[in-house]
Amino acid sequence: MIDPHLNENDLLLRKTIRDFVDRELIPNASKYDLNEKFPHDAINKIAEMGLFRLGIDETFGGVEGTNMHLAIATEEIARGCASTAVIYASHMSLCSKYIELYGDLKQKSLYLPRLVEASTIGALALTEPDAGSDVASIKTLATKVDEGFIINGSKHFITNGQEAGIVIVVASTDPGLGSKGLETFILEAPSEGLTVTPQQGKLGIRASSTCELNFNNVFIPNENRLGKASKGFHMTMQVLDAGRILIAAQSVGIAQMALEISIQYAQQRKAFGNYISEFQAIQNKLADMATEIQAARLLTYRSAALSDYNQPFETEASMAKLYASKVAVESANQAVQIHGGIGYFAPNIAERLYRDAKVTEIYEGTSEIQRILIARSLLSG
């Protein structure tokens, strides 16, 4: 099918990843979910395909790539396994791209080659018990000493934190300064004074690890501070803006799989002597799902394209994240409804999608925060 929004290279990338997903991820996604184990085999195969190199400077082992390419990759991976998609997206947008954007030559040379090979997993340590969407309220303290900084505090809900060997840490030199006191650092893990505690009991995305990081006098040398002094808040907000494009893409992938399994099941399941796909009520559900998914995809593509052309994209990224996450939740809900009782039990794909979808409305800025950002843009224009 011709897609006017994608060029030949984009379509080839999508087909290559889709074939991989059909072959490797879809048959194993339920196993990853039920076992709640990090999918090392899938991540290794994604690394072999070169997807962790996308959009990173060739000098440091990367390959040519755009935010559109990252969105395509994330969507297709999420179609097969949402957990694997968020591992990929977090590694790329919150760690590799952070260093790509704001690291100096030494930092890029030291850390990016390991990240593009995925021999080391990356993470961003941002969220705290009392500072989620309100980043300016971060209390993790960075105290200046002669050779660097001493970090004390706690982070939680950290994606990839358990496996990460490179962690971007956001901390405050003075909590009284709010956003102006924030700095970001590159921490190599494991590190003396750093304790990693897995957080169990997640509703969905269960093969992606989430953990608490406790910092007890963790030393980070001066050369591992990222970017200019006191610019930690600004840098982190820019990274999160771009990251929302990939969460929108993940949402589209979840919704797309919900639609595909719903069509397949409706054409196989009979009730009252007819396939349920012949019932108008089911047809209406499928039509609405398909329309909403396409709208979410186009919003996502638009925000990615704007960012690739160095145009303002922050509001569009918030719109894409807000709408696509809503569509993911609604599509997964309809998939369970179409499947009926069988869709309520694991390891049915609909049941897994229903659980996986919800977090897309929460992480990297809740839907409520996205509405605030969108409204603020409208009212200031």
What residues are labeled active site? Answer: 364
Distance separating alpha carbons of residues 203 and 195, to the nearest angstrom: 24
Distance separating alpha carbons of residues 8 and 38, to the nearest angstrom: 33
Distances (CA, A) of 200 to 123, 203, 288: 18, 9, 35
Bond preceding residue 4 cis, omega within 30 of 0: no
End-to-end CA distance of the chain: 38
Which run of H or E residues covers position 141? strand 141-145
Rounded to a whole number of angstroms, the CA Rg of the chain reads 21
Q: Give the DSSP letter string of 264-307.
A: HHHTT-EETTEEGGGSHHHHHHHHHHHHHHHHHHHHHHHHHHHH
Closest among 358, 302, 363 to 331, alpha carbons compared: 358
Query: Coil, strand, or helix at residue 49?
Result: coil
